[in-house]
Amino acid sequence: MSDQHPERPLPHEPDAPPTVPGPLVARLAPVPPAWATVLGILSIVFGVLGAISKCWGMATPFIFMLMERLFAAMPEDEVPEAVGQSFSMMGAYAWPIAGVSLLKTVVACLLVAVGVGLLKQRAWAPAWAIRYAVLDMVLTLGEGTLGALAQVAQMEAMQAADPAAFGPMTGWTTLIAYGSVAFGVLVSLVWPVFLIVWFTRRRVRERTSTWT
C-alpha cells in the first residue's frame, strides 16, 4: 500500500474478474490542501459579510428621502440650516453610492461562489478568484472616491450654512476626511490583493492545474 495513495475496499462488486492477484481496492480522492480549505471558508465568510454590509449602501437614497420628509414636517426654526444643507449635499451622492453598493453586492456573491469552488477543488475557482479580486479593487477605489467627495462636500455645506459654528475647511480638515476614507479603502484591498498574489504563485498554479 502506498503512503501517498491510500486505498480502501471497493464499495461495489466489479464488472469483470481481476487480472492481477491481490485484494480489490479503489484509490481515495486526493485530500484538498489545507490552504484551499482555509481560503474557501474565508472567502465565503467575507462574501456573505460584504453582501450584507452593502445593503446599507443600497438603502442610502431611501434613507435620505425619509430624512427630507422628516425635516419638511418640522418647523423651520427647529431644523438647523447647517444640518439641512448637509443632508441636501449628501443626497446628491446617494444614488451613485447605491449603484456602487449594488455592484459590490454582486461581486461579494461571486466571492462566495469562489469560496465554494475552492472547497471543492474546482478548476475554475483560481481564475475566478483573480477576476473577483480585480473587479472588487476597481469598485473599492470608486466607492472610496465617492465617499471622500461626499464627506468634503458635506463639511463645506455645513461651513457655508453656519460659519460661526463650523470653521472653514483647512488642509488638516481635508486631510482627515480623505485619510479616513483612504484607510477604509486600504483595509478593503487586503483580501483581493492577497488572492491575486497567492493564485499567481508558480507552486499554487501547478497544484490547481490538477483540479477538475
Least confident span in 4-13, 59-68, 128-137, 203-212: 4-13
Average pLDDT of the residues of the chain: 80
Q: Which residues contact 89 (CB under 8 A, 6 or more apart)?
A: 150, 153, 154, 156, 157
Write down the pLDDT at residue 2: 46
* Whole-structure pTM value: 0.73
Model confidence at 60, in pLDDT bands (50, 70, 90)? confident
pLDDT surpassing 70 at residue 168: no
Domain ranges of the chain: 36-208
Q: For residue 47, what are the CA distances in angstroms to 121, 192, 206?
A: 18, 11, 26
pLDDT digits (tens, 9 = 90+) for 103-151: 999 999 999 999 999 999 999 999 999 999 999 999 999 999 888 888 7
Least confident span in 4-8, 77-81, 117-121, 157-161: 4-8
Cβ(139)–Cβ(110) under 8 Å?
no
